[in-house]
Amino acid sequence: MLDNAPMKSWAERARAVLPAGGFGNFDPSMFIRSGKGSRVWDENGKEYVDYLIGSGPMLLGHGHPEVLEAVAEQLPKGMTFFANNCAGVELAEEICRAVPCAEQVRFLASGGEADMYAMRLARAYTGRDKILKCEGGYHGMSAEAQMSLAPSSMVNFPQAVPDSAGIPEAVRAEMLIAPFNDPDYLESLLAEHGDQIAGMIVEPLQRIIPPAPGFLQAVRDLCDRYGIVLIFDEVVTGFRFAYGGAQEAYGVMPDLCTLGKIIGGGFPLAAVAGRKDIMDHFDKAIVGADRWLMMLGTLSGNPVAAIAGLKTMEILRRDGAYDLLRSHGARLMKLYSSHLDAAGVAHRIVGHETLFDVVFTGRDVLNYRDVSQADAARNARFNAVLREHGVFKSPGKTYPHLALTEEDFELTDAAIAKAAEAIAGD
């Protein structure tokens, strides 16, 4: 049984046993006790409308009854086996039906693992070593992914800047960095290094920044020209933008993609999916020992997560689900812009109806450097006031979801009005 203690007490206990007092994910002063539908409650009993939703996976809201029922039916049958199970095969089949690039699937436990293996798979397939990513792109916690994720110094491209201690210098030498939404720079970079690059990994929507018209197709064309494996990181956008993900929504198909969050229905599950001739490198019988990519994972494809994901995806296939999600997002975007405009606060609403946020700047946002030059102090104050008034969200993202109600929108409207008023004089 958990002690019935206030958040301050839990924070003190956490600091004693957890580095920096938390799990490394979110504000360590926040302790969420429970969630149901569109709401969460903290350990002090305060209730919030939840726009964090576990950083994206709870697209149906917390504790959807049909998902709970499916999971409850599976639990007595077993939680994990380290062996094939039928639910995992069914989930792989559904991913292959839904996602344009997916001919085969390999499951993992987290999106960061999926990104790491996708980059390694590109190297195995091409026999090349270098990986190209966009500055500010988030692709998990591997050494390669922790290059130029959030650099504090703006060095010249394509130099990589490590964002973490403990990364060997040799990793930096194998990473090239390009600005998002700049096809001209990308073309010049590949003219010099294209024959050395195994793969390019990119978020189709980089954090919240949309691709400029034609950018993703230009990336696709350049990767084809130089024989580079194009990887879409769809851990966030997969089954959120559309049932087939951002690649369906934008009409550009990568060679590989990574998936996570929604495909596990709130449980740990992720996947690499893509062309069979590339995925064959997971099969030693096809490619031989020298070209085989070894991959093991204790919880990869576990039946509880697979069952939860299958039920979540079934619900998302129902008529009107994505229309409702986009409608909710558009309504939230309008609330942000109307109150901030009325308060005279310079800002941009950046993103897609299904994933976006406010950036406090007077200029258009096309890449990481545009975001980094925005007013971070104003952003922090705005989000703090939202939380004070019952709106729980990430510092840099708003996740619309299907559980939102009219009452939620009314509370959110009032909270945004208070937050806009609070920062108007800053």
Beta strands in 88-236 (DSSP E): 104-108, 130-134, 175-178, 197-202, 229-234
Cα distance between the two ends of the chain: 45
Tokens standing for residue 47: 């209730």
261 flagged as catalytic: yes
**Chain position carrying tokens 């039920």:** 311
Pick the catalytic residue from 130, 261, 311, 393. 261
Pick the catalytic residue from 42, 115, 233, 408. 233
DSSP designation for 28: T
CB-side neighbour CA atoms (13 Å) of 264: 25
46 flagged as catalytic: no
Computed on alpha carbons and rounded to an integer, the radius of gyration of the chain in Å comes to 22
Beta strands in 31-129 (DSSP E): 32-36, 39-42, 47-50, 104-108
Cα(28)–Cα(21) distance, rounded to whole angstroms? 6
In this structure, is the dihedral angle defined by the CA atoms of residues 422, 424, 425 and 426, taken in order, positive or negative? Answer: positive
**Chain position carrying tokens 């109307």:** 338
CA-CA-CA-CA torsion for 328, 330, 331, 335, nearest 10 degrees?
Answer: 140
- Judging by beta carbons within 10 Å of its beta carbon (0-12, 13-18, 19+), is residue 413 exposed, middle or buried? middle
Tokens standing for residue 23: 């799990």
- Our measurement of the distance from residue 318's CA atom to the centroid of its chain's CA atoms, rounded to an integer in Å, reads 23
Cα(331)–Cα(329) distance, rounded to whole angstroms? 5
Tokens standing for residue 335: 């609330």
130-134 and 197-202 strand pairing? parallel
Report the candidate in 139, 174, 143, 377 with the shortest Cα–Cα distance to residue 258.
Answer: 139
Tokens standing for residue 186: 């990308």
Tokens standing for residue 98: 């839904």
48 flagged as catalytic: no
Q: Which residues pair with 28 in a beta bridge?
A: none
Tokens standing for residue 19: 């580095």
Pick the catalytic residue from 138, 243, 336, 368. 138
Active site residue ranges? 138, 233, 261
